[in-house]
Structure 1
Amino acid sequence: MVSHTVLRLTSQGSLDNIAESQEPRPSAGKHEVLIKVKSVSLNYRDIAIATGQYPFAVKENVVPGSDAAGDIIETGEGVSGFEKGDKVVIAFEPTTLYGPIKTWKTALGGPADGVLRQYIAVPASAVVKIPESSALSYAQWASVVCTGTTAWNALYGNNPLKPGQTVLFQGTGGVSITGLALAKAAGATTIITSSSDEKLEHVKAKYGADYTINYKKTPNWAAEAREITGGQGVDYILENGGSGTIKQSLEAIGFGGVIAIIGFLSSATQENMPDVASLTLSKGAVVRGIMVGSKQQLEEVVRFIGERDLPVPVEKTFKFGRDQVVEAMKYVASGQHIGKVCIEF
């Protein structure tokens, strides 16, 4: 029996509850491919799941992680279009091929076993080939799975972004920086916020953000965003804060603009919650909840990034293994990073 290394979350409540074990290596079923994992990209969702803060159901003893890139080493007899040696990424929610995600019950790394293991067998329908000509690393491609698809859905899943429009990104995490790269490539004007001048200077220099706002120095960053846009307001906002920042987002958005609700990093007490319905109505705005995206959207963003070799932001990598993965997750939880943190196999 051939075995491989698997990480599992023995119980929720602490990152230290991740354990390493040896398990039988899977094989590809009739309509599956077996992938040798080369890199896994971490998300804040992974920390929320491990620490018990995730608002949805989590499988007992789950294998964490949702974002992986790797090589196909075996194909099932019913599989066509893929062959041994293909470089691929796996869709975050393997059953949603197109349209909106309709359930959280089968997403990897939470309700279903994820990718922090050396080998994984998945339906061939759930994987997307990495362009052969791409100069990007496995870590960069793994980082496209959740953050890339989320940013793509936010910008193109409803009213498609047009050149010359303005997009505001909250914070310097993976979704924001990846979205920034996508928006710049599409000819948009970009604004990014952070509490750190150092991070803002880095993002402006490395990723070409057009405008930056330090929200600690400028708590009313909505007014600053409106001033940047000549009083019109921004066209798109990638809203990572949630209830704690939605009021500012609604004040910053222009008439008919789109606010993509992505994260829940900042909370507001009930008595401080704004009247979202009235504020949305007053702007004719669209407020969308973004549940990552479909396999089709993953294909679209892979093609867009691959044709341009866009700089997918990977800041730091750790080696695969229980102790290193826990260290990497603690680093993500600290909020020190700009862009993505990945695990190399």
Structure 2
Amino acid sequence: MIIKESEIPKPGRGEVLVRVRASSLNFRDLPIFAGQYQPSVPIGRVPLSDGAGEIEAIGEGVTRFRVGDKVVNSFFPTWFGGTLNTSHEQWVVHHDGWLTQYKVVSAEILVPLPSHMSFEEGATLSCAAVTAWSAIAGVRAGEVVLTQGTGGVSLFAVQLATALGAMVISTTSSHDKAQTLRRLGAHAVIDYNATPDWGDAVRDLTNGRGVDRVVEVGGPATLPQSMKASAVGGEIAIVGILAGYEGSVDFMTMFMSRVSFRAVTIGSRRDLEDMCRVMEQHGIRPVIDSVHAFDDAKAAITHFAARNIVGKVVIQH
């Protein structure tokens, strides 16, 4: 990663100049840094998809914001709402990202920072939080949601599902992480190292019924247990492959489970707006693992890559 200096840009018609105050790291950033991301990323792109800051100048025709407003960016610059039925532009792949001190963008890709959050907290929302929000879309009060681990998406899912009135069961690997999950609202926590067949344990906790929604972040290695844990007619929201590519799923097991599978692609600006409103109403605050100075961005990336974290790794600009 190379540090580059340039003149502060000026906003054009419909654009704003954002003084970026914080950004955060997501799992997608690791393959980007390694040159393994698909679609491929041009050399020299400014990294990171999530940022928060304040409006420093506005271009002609902008009525959405005023100078001084605190804002968060949406993940997809051209997806404002509705169903995702085409390939949308994304930060870093198609446009420079948010690891910068100043950035000119269309006013349409920004939403107000929740009033109770700091810039560091707001910078964690664009990818992981909206992904969690989309993963639990449609969950109703009284239903049961299963989350996996203590990554950013999973922690947000615990908080948001609890706010919607759902009961949450979580899996994790340590006592300390279990305490964090309970503090955030998890009704029960299962140690997946001590209980490899945690799908059966989930069924025991639900009197044999299973859960209504699984926030599946593990991938092929955890999907068989997620199916076992699911109720008939339940849904598995497939978010990621944090447990690796290894593993297999038997087709007949999938078919006979009577479970729906839905791939989650983060969310639109409307999803971000709706989620921020719920977070503000319920006083939900992101879990932050650590905050690093802008000049120590490389150290932040190294810390994040080690994966021994609970919550989001943030860079303060």
Give the TM bin, normalised by the shorter chain: over 0.9
Counterpart AA for 1:311: R
Alpha-carbon offset, residue 267 of structure 1: 2.9
SS for the counterpart of 1:242 is coil
**Aligned match for 1:149, one of 110, 130, 140:** 130
Counterpart AA for 1:327: A
CA contact (8 A) 2:76 2:88 kept: no
Alpha-carbon offset, residue 244 of structure 1: 1.5
Counterpart AA for 1:267: G
CA contact (8 A) 1:34 1:73 kept: yes
SS for the counterpart of 1:23 is coil
Residues in 1 aligned to 2:30 and 2:244: alpha-carbon distance in whole angstroms: 17
Unaligned 5+ segments in structure 1 are 1-17
Percent of aligned pairs sharing the same letter? 37
Match of 1:178 in 2: 156
Counterpart AA for 2:252: S
Distance change in 2, residues 1:196/1:103 (3 Å): farther
Match of 1:274 in 2: 249
* TM-score of the aligned structures, taking structure 2 as reference length: 0.95
Residues 148-183 of structure 1 show CA distances to partners (whole Å, capped at 9, x for unaligned) of: 111111111xxx111111111111011111111111
**Aligned match for 1:167, one of 145, 148, 165:** 145
Alpha-carbon offset, residue 101 of structure 1: 3.9
Alpha-carbon offset, residue 102 of structure 1: 4.8
Matches within 5 A, 1:195-344: 195-204=173-182, 206-269=183-246, 272-275=247-250, 277-321=251-295, 324-344=296-316
Residues 41-87 of structure 1 show CA distances to partners (whole Å, capped at 9, x for unaligned) of: 11111112101332322122111000011101111102112110111
CA contact (8 A) 2:78 2:88 kept: no
2:99 aligned with 1:122? no
Residues in 1 aligned to 2:266 and 2:162: alpha-carbon distance in whole angstroms: 21
CA contact (8 A) 1:40 1:69 kept: yes
Residues in 2 aligned to 1:316 and 1:144: alpha-carbon distance in whole angstroms: 15
Q: Figure out how many residues of one structure are paired with residues of the other and give that number.
A: 317
What CA RMSD, in Å, does the superposition of the two structures yield over aligned residues? 1.5
Residues in 2 aligned to 1:265 and 1:317: alpha-carbon distance in whole angstroms: 23
Match of 1:34 in 2: 17
CA contact (8 A) 1:97 1:295 kept: yes
Residues in 2 aligned to 1:191 and 1:311: alpha-carbon distance in whole angstroms: 20
Residues in 1 aligned to 2:84 and 2:101: alpha-carbon distance in whole angstroms: 27
